[in-house]
Chain A
Amino acid sequence: MSISQPIPTHDHTQIELGFLRKYIFSEDHKMIGIQFLFSGMIFLFLGGALALLVRLQIGWPYGNLPMVGNWFPASWGGKMSPEFYTMIFSMHATIMIFFVIIPWLTGAFGNFLIPLQIGARDMAFPKLNMLSYWVMWPSFILMLISFFVAGGAAGSGWTAYPTLSSAAMPDGMTGSPASPNSGTGQVLWLISLLFAGVSSMMGSVNYITTIINMRCPGMTLMRMPMTIWAMFVTAILQAMALPVLTVAIILQLLDKTIGTTFFLPPAGMAFGNWHTGPGGGQPLLWQHLFWFYSHPAVYIMILPAMGMVSDIISTFARKPLFGYRPMVYAIAGIAGLGFIVWGHHMFQSGMDPRLGTGFMIATIMIALPSAVKTFNWLGTIWQGNIQYTSAMLNALAFVSMFVIGGLSGIFMAATPVDVYIHDTYFIVAHIHYVLFMSTIFGIYAGVYYWYPKMFGRMMSETLGKIHFALTFLSANATFYPMHIIGVGGHPRRYFDITIYDTFQHLQPLNAFMTVAAIILGFVQFIFVANFFWSLFFGKKANRNPWHSNSLEWAAPSPPPHGNFEGNVPSVYRGPYEYGHPETQEDYLPQFEPNGPKDTPGGSH
């Protein structure tokens, strides 16, 4: 393939692709990245709307819902049913994880940034790349259709534990004896995630190949920006873990459709007077397979954000990244340990408690590389010259909030404490501090930072800061008290806690969090407004508006097809040479041939 060869300048200015090839079935990594960005944004709002419905029910249990109540069947009397509630929190998590966070991090940012930051003209396999986006659409559509099938969309949580999810009716009957939502809805859920998995897999082989083979001259591994390291390790995690999830999904699909019994215990099950007949399987098997994928997957959901935040913090602190090598080792350490801790989701599952002891030790130790990363981010801003751009604020919020999410992990990793807090709101707090408060802030930081490169215009900094301030405030108000009610024992996935003497006094906090969540939801429209307004009216961006060092800033904004005019750039040093004492400016790009040469890998 000639992609890595220089394309003569006249070439890309002359090729005019039609609308369809340019914007829809594009093979250009940048357009594919932007497509992932847009579909992710749509699903962010759908997932967010579901979350608000969940919060309305928890905040005012069984209350009459204004407006939305009218859409419910008349028999519900304007109120939510417990099954409906179960369905919407399951779909909220599914959509946010599989349709927003993973596609945004790897699909949008991975696609857009990898070739640009390593000085390549495109991905190694552009067609495969296009396919990886379009395979998401069957997944999207099946998931959306599932809301309208008999029984509604899947309702066994995003974790889909058998036998609630897998119990099937005998031949010729549809539905499930376990839950109305475990019928066709669950089947569609499984098929949808199969497609999403195929998409991720296509992306991941592409990223690995591209990063290994297509780096421009001088771009050694230890000169790669942190974003690239993170994307690289993430892609490896995906390639290794995804097959296991795929197998698990297929097994459950077979259980549900042709009556295999992989997850059905030998003695079968009884629902009322109806008995399933004997099985020969084991419900716990699903949990092992699922978490063998999904624990590494939680790192898939944060490592790319860690990489992006590292780049952004160094840029706006105008200071080299502190401890480049330890940062790389920490990513590798998280990824490696990430494969031997899945059992921490199963401490109370009935798995042999002696296994729990081993998983506990591994899990507690995984906090170590996370701590090392945090200290190095702090080291980066220390003695820096910090510019408070919207991107930087979101990146700093990432660091601050990741500390909270990481620390709460230790409570749950400690098996005896987990006996008490497992499946309480403490877990919900943890999830949201790592996934919302860290990853989503990281994503926002990335959008504010790379928007000029993506679209050739600047976003409004004023709106950006207002959006940040309100989001940071309302998100903390929404999620922080979840720690407290978790300590109070508030179970997760509960339709109504007020029937419990033990929990009912926590209800005022629930109402408070719901109000905060509604504000949080509406504040996000500021971001959308800023995004679309700037698309047309934003200030035109030059090549390197932030005075950054990495290669994407050598390309025009937005970069043309083929990314770089003339030859691909050459790299002379690491990506973090900010504030170099021997230079006039306070930055020294990787692609600048003059000026002080290397500090190997930018580290000591």
Chain B
Amino acid sequence: MGKGWSVFFGVILLATFLLWFVAPFYGWWLPNAVSTFGPDVDWLFYLILGFTGFFFVLTQVVLIYAMWRFSYRPGEKSTYSHGNHRLEMIWTAIPAVILLGIAIVQISVWQDIKYQSKMPPPDVTVSVMARQWEWRMRYPLETSRFKWDQKATPEEVRQKQLAARAWAENPEIDDIPIANEIHTWVGASTKIYLRTQDVLHSFTMPNMRIKQDTLPGKTIPIWFKATRANTFFDTNTRKLRIPPNRADAWEIACQELCGGRHYAMRGKVYVHESRESYEGWLKHAVEQSNSREPEKVAAAD
């Protein structure tokens, strides 16, 4: 078949390439990004997509062209060559520079997302205890209890952080227990202390572009700040106005294997339109939890 193989490779590779352009039109793409990490992470994704796309096309075109142009010619000989020093230098140095560049631009975003020292003062603090197979949240009664103000000294910041961690590890009687729901409001920097009582889990909010495994024996803080709202607490009906369409239904998924029902550790993310809406909801939740027996509240951790 000779040159035909070049065409065969070409057609299949072209199909894989085109899939990247077709997929977004079917919605098979990054889900809406609704946190401050969104634009940063997505930009880095597109940057890498650009560079890798370029090298994909480059190498595959060379391959397919060579398969066509240099397919077997009986009686002829190939060009006798063992290599080319200059070429080796070029194709080592250029990718080296590009790769190093790609690595360096990641650093600041990674720091913003994961370094504890970079986490801003939290407007809301939530404690999450994972277990097979649910997320158990606790909200402090006083919403911004662990927030420090911008002028705080490093020591004051440290004290606040220690207090928050201590709270996350030791439930208090007036905490509000909620299962499988993260509540915050748009623009609030939200800090979540993650723990697990049994196996590893991974707390993932795809729309927020955040993910963190939970580790038995450790309390791990993460944070995010939503840039869009999807909920409003209606004080009259005392109900959450639930997002009408799928794209606004933001979820929590577990992304570290944790047993049979790993797939079913689903939670929801409610970003309220305002702090008032959040606090209205919180007040309602307090009433609800007070109407339950106290033992149950304590046992909910």
Which A residues lie at the B interface, using CB under 8 A?
A: 81-83, 85-86, 155-157, 161, 163-164, 167, 177-180, 264-267, 269-271, 279, 282-284, 317-326, 348-350, 353-354, 356-357, 360-361, 364-365, 367-368, 371-372, 374-376, 378-379, 381-388, 393, 396-397, 399-400, 403-404, 407-408, 410-411, 413-417, 419-420, 422-424, 465, 469, 472-473, 476, 480-481, 484-485, 487-489, 491-497, 499-502, 504-506, 509, 576, 578-581, 586, 599, 602-604
- Which of B55, B63, B113 meets A419, CB within 8 Å? B113
Residues from 1 to 39 in B contacting A, C-beta threshold 8 Å: 1-2, 5, 8-9, 12-13, 15-16, 19-20, 23, 26-31, 37
Identify which of B8, B71, B217 contacts A267 (C-beta below 8 A): B217
A-B interface pairs (CB < 8 A), number? 350
Contact A404 B19, beta carbon cutoff 8 Å: no
Are A360 and B110 touching (Cβ within 8 A)? yes
Q: Is the CB of B59 within 8 A of A269?
A: no
Closest 6 A-B residue pairs measured CB to CB?
A: A265-B217, A353-B114, A319-B78, A323-B83, A383-B79, A579-B78
CA distance A155 to B199 in the complex (A): 13
Contact of B48 with A319 in the complex, beta carbons under 8 Å: no
Contact of B83 (CB < 8 Å), options: A324, A381, A586? A324
B162 interface residue per 8 A CB criterion: no
Are A388 and B2 neighbours in the complex by a CB distance under 8 Å? yes
Q: Whole-angstrom distance between the alpha carbons of A385 and B78 in the complex? A: 5
Determine if A469 and B80 form an interchain contact, defined as CB atoms under 8 angstroms apart. Answer: no
Q: Is the CB of B67 within 8 A of A396?
A: yes
27 contacts between A and B (CB under 8 A): A81-B260, A161-B256, A163-B198, A164-B257, A265-B216, A322-B82, A374-B59, A385-B73, A386-B66, A386-B71, A400-B9, A407-B52, A407-B55, A415-B106, A415-B114, A419-B41, A419-B113, A423-B255, A472-B8, A472-B9, A472-B12, A491-B263, A494-B262, A496-B263, A502-B251, A576-B82, A603-B83
Assess A364 versus B40: contact at CB under 8 Å? Given A410-B52, A505-B27, A604-B83. Answer: no
Q: Which of B83, B197, B264 has the most CB of A within 10 A?
A: B83
Does B253 touch A at the CB level, under 8 Å?
Answer: yes
Expressed in whole angstroms, the Cα–Cα distance for A323 and B88 within the complex equals 8
Contact A489 to B83, CB < 8 A, known contacts A364-B99, A502-B206, A502-B251: no
Judge if B298 is at the interface, Cβ distance under 8 Å: no
Contact of B72 among A267, A385, A396, A576 (CB under 8 A): A385
CA distance A407 to B113 in the complex (A): 24
- With A271-B198, A319-B80: A356-B259 Cβ-Cβ less than 8 Å: no
**Bound complex: CA A487 to CA B19 (Å):** 12
B261 proximity list for chain A (CB < 8 A): 82, 495
A residues near B77, Cβ cutoff 8 Å: 318, 385, 579, 581, 586
Contacts of B202-231 to chain A: CB distance below 8 A: 202, 204, 206-207, 209-218, 220
List B contacts of A319 (CB < 8 A).
78-81
Stretch binding the partner chain, chosen from B89-97, B143-151, B280-288: B89-97
Q: Are B215 and A400 neighbours in the complex by a CB distance under 8 Å?
A: no
A168 → B minimal CB distance (Å): 13
The CA-CA distance from A108 to B170 in the complex, in Å, is: 57
B167-219, CB < 8 A from A: 197-200, 202, 204, 206-207, 209-218
Chain B: which residue is nearest A61 at the CB level? B263
Pick the most buried of B109, B111, B211: most chain A CB atoms within 10 A of its CB.
Answer: B211
* A494 lies within 8 A of B263 (CB): yes
Task: Return the chain B residue nearest A465 by Cβ.
Answer: B1
Shortest Cβ distance from residue A330 to the other chain B in the assembled complex, whole angstroms: 9
Contacts A282-B217, A385-B78, A487-B29 given; does A497 touch B263 at CB 8 Å: yes
Closest B residue, CB atoms, query A163: B199
Whether a CB of chain A sits under 8 angstroms from the CB of B163 is no
B258 on the A face (CB < 8 A):
yes
Q: How far is the CB of A448 from chain B (nearest CB, A)?
A: 15
A322 to B80, CA, bound (A): 10
Known contacts A322-B81, A368-B99, A501-B249; is-contact A416 B109 (Cβ 8 Å): yes
For B65, give the chain A residue with the smallest CB separation.
A382
User: B215's contact among A82, A283, A581, by CB below 8 Å, is which?
Assistant: A283
A273 to chain B, nearest CB (A): 10
Residues from chain A with a CB closer than 8 A to the CB of B200 are: 161, 163-164, 283
Q: Does A350 lie within 8 Å of B70, measured CB to CB?
A: no
Known: A361-B100, A368-B99, A388-B2. 11 other contacts (CB 8 A): A163-B216, A164-B259, A317-B78, A378-B66, A385-B70, A388-B71, A420-B45, A502-B207, A505-B28, A578-B80, A580-B80
